[in-house]
Each structure stands twice: as C-alpha cells, then as structure tokens.
Structure 1
C-alpha cells in the first residue's frame, strides 16, 4: 500500500460534520463523517471502520476530497462502456444523415437504423447494433421527424426573396388599401377529404401488423381553410368542388372573421382559382401570392397533416354528407384550440417583424 496522503487544510472535522448534517446524500454523509474522524486525530483504520470500507477505499475518498472538495464524495454516474464511434466517424454519420441516402447507391430512399448500421460497416468496418446506433444519433441531436412537402422544381432563391421582401410588401399594403387599419396576416389553402382515406401509424405489439379500415370509393369534399396564426383565428367552408366560385365564398367567410378595425393580408399559392380575374375579393382583404411551387411556406399544409393524423384518417365515410360532417367537426375542434393554430401556423418570417 502507498504512503498516507494528507487531507487538504481548508477544512476541519467540525466543518465536515456540519456538511454531513446538511446533505441529503446518505453516502456523502457517511464519507464526510469518516474523514471528519481523521481531521480529529483518528487513524485511517478508524475511518475505515466508521465507513465500513477498506483502507484502500478510504485512500480513494481522501484523493477525491482533496481534488474536488465535499462534492467529490458524492456518487457520480457510471461512465459506461466507451463509444464504438470516434469523432471522425460521428462527423461522417452526421453528414450522411443530413444529405440522406442516394437511392441508386444505397438502395433506399430514407435511412433506417439497419441501413445506417450497414453503411457504417461498409465505410469504416465498424460493427454496431441498431440499439447502440439509436443512442448515438439521438445523442447527436437527431430525431425521426415528419418531412415537410417540397416541390422538386421550386426556386430556392425566389423563396428567400419572398421572405426578405415580405415586410416591405405588407408595409405597402398598410399604406395603401389598408391605410389607417392594423394588419392581420392570414394563410389559406384547400384539402381534399374523401372516402379513399388515409391510414396512419398506430400503437401495436412488436412483431404484429396492425390494420385500419380503408375504403375504395371516391366521394369527396374540399376543406377551404384559412388561419391567422398570430391571433389564433380560423375560417373555413366545406365545398363539393374547388373552383373560383368556391374561393369567392371562402373569401367572404374570411372577411367576416377579420376585425372591423383591421385589414387582412391573405397569403395563398398560385392555384388558378386563387388568381382568377373573376374572383370577388372583399374590401378588407388583399391577396398576396406565394412563389410558385413552394408549399412549405404555407403553414396550412402542416395543419392538414395534423388534422388527418388525429381526426380524419382511419375512417370509412358512409356518404358525402358523412364526409362533410366529419370535416366540420374536425375544423370546429381546431377553432376551439387557438393555441394549436398559433403553434403550428406561426412563422418567424411572417410575424417576426
């Protein structure tokens, strides 16, 4: 056994006993009392009997106490096994996750854990289990999230210019058609809901294949929906078709939801019925079109996903009237949750100026 190590001089026995009375960690209190007996002139053997440990463990306590003070006597979390990936491999894994797989090379269109396990073996000859790799990618800050729709032919520069110029466009409307009124920012879109309905993921026992009802009939209706994320307001109509007349009716509905002292800037995509010369636009609404092929700029797209996954999917609609009834019920649920509209619909580029 090595030579005795002296305790640090900035503590004494009375100080350690006082700390032992104050701590809520029983193991730390026992170690503090053992070291306090040494400060009071006791031997290391006395401290070992008091702590019910060996002399070597008392020596370890002394070294931890000298290095870190009383905090060094608390039980720390076990470090666990060393990671099988080094920093270079983690950086390469992060790049692979960011860029996604190349279908003709990797054979898949999205990464699964089993695919990443194979990729690590082919690239670095490192063998890891799916469970270990799951912990690694989660520790790196990655989660499996739902993708936003993105058109393959969109112009990224046009999207950035729209966001950049949006405050100026709103200011121009505020000084023109909306002069003297405050501005409300609204987003509008349509969703088709029909008997050939969606099915979603659901909880089931591992190894089983859960089922959900799925109809093959083709009756459908359209939800014309609009939201004001900043105020948590929403306005919708359920229509049997999607054309200029239906859009005119929806604009009238939105107009009724705009405050009397406000003017709405309604952001829409460039569908034909949104831009038609025959469209009747109320005086308290100005339509502002999005850049072509940029659905991710419209938060109503995310609302449709939420409504389908929670209220409209996994159903068999008996008739057109049944479709309308369920669509109305789903939209009323949304209207009664303004915090949901604010959370899903708010965009920094539209409301952060």
Structure 2
C-alpha cells in the first residue's frame, strides 16, 4: 500500500472547522470536517467515517485540497455533452419559436417539443430527443407559459404608436399646467368578482389531481381600481354596477388620492363609461385612453391577476355581502403593500420621463 499523501501545511484543523461553519455548500463542509480530523492527528479511516466515504475518496479529497485549497472541495457544475446546435441554429430556433407555427405549413397551431425536433431535423439534418429540445429552449430563455387571449381586431400598429407618442402626450399635458406642477401616471380598470370564482394552480404531489371549490351561482360586484406605481398607492371602490355613475365616483376617489399640488394622467381603456362626455373629470386629472383592445398596456390587469391568485380564487362566497367584504379586504391588503403595486405596475416606457 502506498504512503498517505500529506496535507498542505498552510492550514490546520481549527481553520478548516471554521471554514466548514461558514461554507454555503453542504458537501464542502463535510469534506473540510473530514480533512480537519487528519490535521488533528486522526486516522484516515476516522476521516472516511466522518465523510461517509472510502479511503480512496479521502485520498482524492486530499489531492484536490492540496492543489486548489478549500475551493477545490466544492462540487463543480457538470458540463454534460456539448450541444449539437451551433449559434446560428440556436438563433433560428429562437426565432421560429417566437414567430409561432403557421398551421398550413407546419400542421400545428402551437409548438410542441416533438414538432420542433422534426423542424430541426428537416432544416439541419440534426436528430434531437424531445428532452434535448426542451433543454435548448430553456437555455434560450423560453418557458411553457399560459397564453393570454388576444382580440382578433387588436391593432399592433396603434399600440406601438401609443407608446411612441406617450412622451408627446405627457408634454402636452405639462404645457397646460402651472410651471413646476408634478405629474403622476395612474392606471385604471375594473374587474368583476362573483360567485363563479377562478380555480388557480396549486402545489400538489405528482400524479395527483388537486381539487378546489367551484360555485355556479351568479351574484357579483365590480372592483374599480387605479394605481400610481411611482408612489405605490391605489384608489379603489367596490360597487354593484359598472356604469357612468360608478366611474364618476371612482374619478372622485382617484382625485382625493393624488398628491397635493400634483396632476394625474389616468390611463384607461375605451369602455363607454370611460369616454362618455357626461363625466365630470376632476381638475387635477387628465384622462388618456389606450388604443382599442390593448389590455397588455394596462398593468392593472396584472393587479387583478395577482389579487385573484392570492385572495379571491378557490373559495365559495355565501352572499353578496360576503363578496363585498372580501373584495374590500383584498384591495386594502394590496394598498398596504406599496412594494407590490410598484413591482407589478411600473412600466419603463411610461415612467422614464
């Protein structure tokens, strides 16, 4: 049997135990404690018992430690087999996934891994398993996400034009105000909450199908919500109807929440009760309609999703009064967490000016 390899002499057992205590890697801590036993004069068999390994592995740890020090005892990421796709082929894969399939050409309405594997083979003659296609997609930053419905009449050019012209709209409002008047950007929308609640995803053991309560009754309320992401504040009302009078009350509530001396630009969709000439818009508010059918531009839509996922779904409302109380409580919870409003609501294109 060969001689035991000596440990480097610039460490000792106490130093290794201290490093093991500070380490964020469990395996590195275990290896450091095993080598500390050798530094303290213990047998290599005792070090193997502490490390839960064989004497040969202890010898490997000693060699790694002598060469690289404590970092040499950290598990290194496994590189795995190199990708069969080169940079250009990966960019082409990303482009076709972003573009989506053409049903008349590709025969499918959404990409599956097997479809992309076939496309890669037809384009480049490279055969990939479905799992390998999945790894390539994840490495390119893709994930399998639920798609949001998009109205067939949505005009992408109008949405792009709105974003492009927003600084000019902001400047036009500022020009009409006294010099130095602060401007706040607010977003407004409504959501219907009723006894037919949404069922959300939940953690459950693999192979099981979790259940959640689902009501079929139809009592409901409307939550009128508006947020100012820059300040992390909101203005909300829970009302029985969605009409011009309800919108009038909401504008008055928003007006009360605008900072003293500031002017609010309230961005909202083109619902009839938003655009009617019969609204009396408060003096500290200017309404700015979004392009038709463009809910993606309104972050309050994401606020509704957050509230439904966390406070309003997977439950049974016994009465109208209970729906009202729970919706009021949910909105109160939201405005008590300004960081949530900021995180969900801030849009770089609207708040950089």
- TM-score interval, normalised by the smaller of the two chains: 0.7 to 0.9
- Superposed displacement of residue 174, structure 1: 2.1
Query: For residues 206 and 139 of structure 1, do their structure 2 counterparts lie closer, same or farther at Cα, with a shift above 3 Å needed?
Result: same
The change in CA–CA distance for 1:177 and 1:213 in structure 2 (over 3 A counts) is: same
Summarize the Cα distance change of 1:114–1:334 in structure 2 as closer, same or farther, 3 Å threshold: farther
Q: 2:53 maps to what in 1? A: none
Distance 1:338 1:149 in 2: 29
- Match of 2:50? none
Greater Cα shift, 157-166 or 76-85: 76-85
1:207 and 1:117 mapped to 2: Cα distance? 27
The residue correspondences of 1:1-353 to structure 2 (distance < 5 A) are: 77-103=77-103, 105-106=105-106, 108-117=108-117, 119-120=119-120, 126-147=126-147, 150-177=150-177, 180-353=180-353
Q: Equivalents in 2 of 1:105, 1:315: separation in Å?
A: 44
| More displaced stretch, 238-247 vs 132-141 | 132-141
Which whole-Å CA distance do the structure 2 matches of 1:161 and 1:189 have between them?
A: 21
Query: Which structure 1 residue ranges, 5 or more long, are not aligned?
Result: 1-16, 31-50, 62-68
CA distance in 1, matches of 2:104, 2:216: 33
Distance (whole Å) between structure 1 residues aligned to residue 10 and residue 238 of structure 2: 69
Structure 2: distance between partners of 1:334 and 1:323: 17
Distance 2:202 2:108 in 1: 24
How many residues are paired up?
301
Distance (whole Å) between structure 2 residues aligned to residue 107 and residue 214 of structure 1 = 36
Deviations 1:163-222 (A, max 9, x none): 222222222222314655211110001111112221122222223322222222222111
Shift of 1:160: 2.4
Q: Indicate the SS of the match to 2:342.
A: helix
> Aligned to 1:161, what secondary structure does the other structure show?
helix
1:80 Cα deviation (Å)? 2.2
CA 126–180 in structure 1, closer or farther in 2 if over 3 Å, else same: closer
CA distance, structure 2, for counterparts of residue 187 and residue 152 of structure 1: 24
Contact 1:178 1:263 in 2 (8 A): no
Distance 1:144-1:337 versus aligned 2 partners, 3 A rule: farther
Between the aligned partners of 1:111 and 1:321, the Cα distance in structure 2 is 45
Once structures 1 and 2 are overlaid, which stretch shifts more, 98-107 or 294-303?
98-107
* CA distance in 2: counterparts of 1:52 and 1:215, whole angstroms: 65
Change (3 A) 1:149 1:343: farther
Q: CA RMSD in A?
A: 3.2
**Quick check: which has more Rg, 1 or 2?**
1
With the length of structure 1 as denominator, give the TM-score of the two structures.
Answer: 0.74
Cα offset for 1:123?
5.2
Q: What's the CA shift for 1:303? A: 1.1
The answer to whether the 8 Å contact 1:178/1:284 transfers is: no
2: CA distance between counterparts of 1:333 and 1:111? Answer: 39
TM-score by length of 2: 0.74
- CA displacement 1:97-145 (0-9 Å, x = unmatched): 1112334555554334454445445655654444333222111222234
What is the SS of the residue equivalent to 2:224? strand
Report the CA distance between 1:77 and its aligned residue.
Answer: 4.8
